């Protein structure tokens, strides 16, 4: 059965798994309620005072009964555990080729950005039959992104990245709610998800991105903020180089000496902008100023997308090597990157990062 009368529409590829698990749990609960309450009523009636029921020689033990009431529930619980674990992994592991969309929660609205540059408020347009991954954060309090028809819900916490994914299977509109009380106007933090044919989605996507892609907007913001004054070639400030940072090993200084290596993911780049003093790149001093409170999450996302693009443009190294950058990075190179105005130097990590966002970007904690 695709839909039960008291449930929302089934409109995503994972909704059936959630519904099946819920159905099985309800059926098991109903079975035990009927069995236990039925036995209780039967014995209360049969052995009530005044009946002629035989009360002689009551049984004191039954090995078969003990095996049954222990073994059957254990097998049922293990079956539920196995299926629920499999379902959890299906829900939490986004496909590698899932299309990313960025969501910023704020009292009391959802601000959504597409990598191609288009943004929307309290609305989310997605193509039919395509894997979508939402990368989310909050600017103020805890919110919860909830689409009942898709059976997806994810808390969005300030200072962290959270992800969820889905593949819409039904055209039309679907309700979007905040499922975590977030203030006086929590009930008004609602929106709509529009599922469109892929061709219509592509047309819609490119109609409203006159400002360019997020990476292009991030490059403009990068220059506006004067970041190239430190991270550009020929700078008098010995700052790290940004090309090749994303998705590659980055050595960091340990507080007690030595180094540790992490992957330069979105979390690391974000933290390097917000508060660059806690995770300092090996070979550099923690002199970069923090942009905490100066940039909102939308602008930080633009900078992150631009720095990510440096690792894939002009023969960048994104995912192309497993070797860590040398612990003591060399002085910034003055060789410009091809086809990049006001280019950045290459091959060194960021100046520093913070643990303000504690989740390495894997989509799951």
Fold of 214-353: Cytochrome Bc1 Complex; Chain D, domain 2 (1.10.760)
- CA 192, 195, 199, 200 torsion-angle sign: negative
The share of the chain scoring above pLDDT 90, in percent, equals 41
pLDDT digits (tens, 9 = 90+) for 247-274: 888 888 787 777 888 888 888 888 888 8
Q: Do domains 1-46+63-93 and 214-353 have the same CATH topology?
A: no
Closest by CA to 94, choosing from 12, 212, 30, 158, is: 12
Q: Which residue intervals of the chain are DSSP H helices?
A: 15-46, 63-92, 198-207, 214-224, 228-231, 266-274, 297-310
Q: Domain limits of the chain?
A: 1-46+63-93, 99-207, 214-353
Sheet holding 162-167, edge to edge: 119-121, 109-113, 99-106, 131-138, 162-167
- Is pLDDT above 60 for 337? no
Distances (CA, A) of 295 to 36, 222, 275, 321: 60, 12, 12, 32
User: Is residue 240 a contact partner of residue 349, using CB atoms and an 8 Å limit?
Assistant: yes
339/254: higher pLDDT: 254
Distances (CA, A) of 7 to 1, 2, 180, 325: 12, 10, 20, 53
Phi-psi region of 279 (alpha: psi -120 to 50; beta: other; left: phi over 0): beta
Taking the model in full, what pTM does it have?
0.71
Token digits for 54? 């035989």
- CA dist 311 and 126 (Å) reads 27
Distances (CA, A) of 122 to 177, 207, 301: 9, 18, 18
- Is pLDDT above 60 for 326? no
pLDDT recorded at residue 346:
34
- CA dist 75 and 73 (Å) reads 5
Closest by CA to 249, choosing from 268, 272, 233, is: 268
pLDDT digits (tens, 9 = 90+) for 182-228: 999 999 999 999 999 999 999 998 886 667 888 888 888 888 888 87
SS3 154: strand
Provide CB contacts within 8 A for 166, sequence distance 6+.
Answer: 12, 13, 14, 131, 132, 147, 150, 152
The CATH code belonging to domain 99-207 is: 2.60.40.420
- CA dist 28 and 98 (Å) reads 35
Q: How many CA atoms lie within 13 Å of 275's alpha carbon, on the beta-carbon side? A: 9
- CA dist 165 and 302 (Å) reads 21
The CATH code belonging to domain 1-46+63-93 is: 1.10.287
Closest by CA to 134, choosing from 108, 111, 106, is: 111
Which of 114-118, 146-150, 273-277 is modeled with the greatest confidence? 146-150
- CA dist 135 and 363 (Å) reads 8
């Amino acid at each position: 059965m695709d839909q039960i009368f008291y449930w929302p529409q089934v409109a995503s590829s994972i909704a059936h798994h959630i519904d099946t698990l819920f159905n099985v749990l309800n059926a098991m609960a109903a079975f035990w309620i009927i069995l236990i309450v039925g036995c209780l009523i039967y014995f209360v009636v049969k052995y009530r005072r005044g009946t002629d029921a035989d009360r002689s020689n009551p049984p004191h033990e039954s090995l078969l009964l003990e095996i049954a009431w222990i073994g059957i529930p254990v097998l049922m619980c293990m079956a539920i555990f196995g299926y629920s674990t499999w379902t959890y992994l299906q829900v939490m592991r986004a496909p590698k080729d899932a299309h990313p969309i960025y969501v910023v929660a704020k009292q009391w609205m959802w601000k959504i950005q597409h990598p191609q540059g288009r943004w929307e408020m309290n609305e989310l347009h997605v193509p039919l039959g395509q894997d979508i991954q939402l990368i989310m954060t909050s600017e103020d309090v805890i919110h919860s992104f909830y689409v009942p028809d898709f059976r997806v819900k994810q808390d969005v916490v300030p200072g962290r990245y959270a992800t969820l994914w889905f593949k819409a299977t039904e055209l039309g509109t679907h309700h979007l709610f905040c499922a975590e009380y977030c203030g006086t106007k929590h009930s008004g933090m609602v929106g709509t998800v529009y599922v469109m044919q892929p061709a219509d989605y592509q047309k819609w996507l490119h109609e409203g991105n006159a400002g360019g892609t997020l990476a292009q907007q991030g490059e403009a913001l990068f220059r506006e903020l004067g970041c190239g004054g430190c991270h550009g070639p020929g700078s008098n400030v010995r700052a790290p180089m940004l090309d090749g940072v994303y998705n590659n090993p980055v050595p960091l200084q340990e507080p007690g000496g030595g180094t540790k290596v992490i992957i330069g993911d979105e979390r690391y780049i974000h933290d390097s902008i917000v508060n660059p003093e806690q995770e300092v790149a090996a070979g550099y001093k923690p002199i970069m100023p923090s942009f905490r409170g100066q940039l909102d999450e939308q602008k930080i996302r633009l900078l992150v997308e631009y720095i990510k693009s440096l690792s894939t443009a002009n023969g960048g190294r994104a995912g192309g090597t497993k070797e860590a950058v040398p612990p003591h990075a060399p002085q910034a190179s003055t060789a410009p990157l091809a086809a990049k105005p006001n280019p950045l130097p290459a091959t060194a990590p960021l100046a520093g990062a913070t643990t303000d966002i504690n989740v390495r970007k894997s989509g799951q904690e």
